[in-house]
Structure 1
């Protein structure tokens, strides 16, 4: 019974959003001192736009918004959009570091962010197939 509930939940949009929320919050936590040296050189272009502390707030707030949207379904599209948008921006910022020659291996980090983006777009953009209940 409990496993069936978990299996059902894990296939839901809310489960996907919970995963996206946790990834987003953890990214934000990586910008919180002492997990980051505030005096270090930014790793990519967007990191230089604001302080690590501000980026932490932005990422964590987006993740918390995603968690809230798991309980308020009307917010789901906006939550997915915000989290995917942040990941896409980071992916492009890292990719531009490679294209412009500032950081030749930044494309590797960009792949991780693009992975989150494309998996989220896949998960939320595909047709839902109704699976009959198994007893």
Structure 2
């Protein structure tokens, strides 16, 4: 799963889609989230999907057998387990405020008051499929 390629452009134009539409399903993702995909898109809220991923693949557990650990590592590589909340908050609040700066300020307040803009912008790293 990766961020839509025009996320930065849509963010600056104040035209982001719903959080679920900010992500593209990549080949092989369906193996892990088949029940949450319909017509090639996520068919539930992001929070539901990522809570399910954490629980289903035991991503927060420390003591996993070899096979469970291997699957958990693959899931963590494929899905933005740490960044999805930032994308959701930016998307939701941009539509609410219709203002880029206010959306970023709100993300900082909701994630960590000490989080700076540079930390937030890590969602735009090349590993996410877009370059700013």
TM-score range (shorter-chain normalised) is 0.3 to 0.5
TM-score, length basis structure 1: 0.32
More helix by share: 1
Work out which structure has the larger RCO, using CA pairs closer than 8 Å and 6 or more positions apart in sequence: 2
Larger radius of gyration: 1
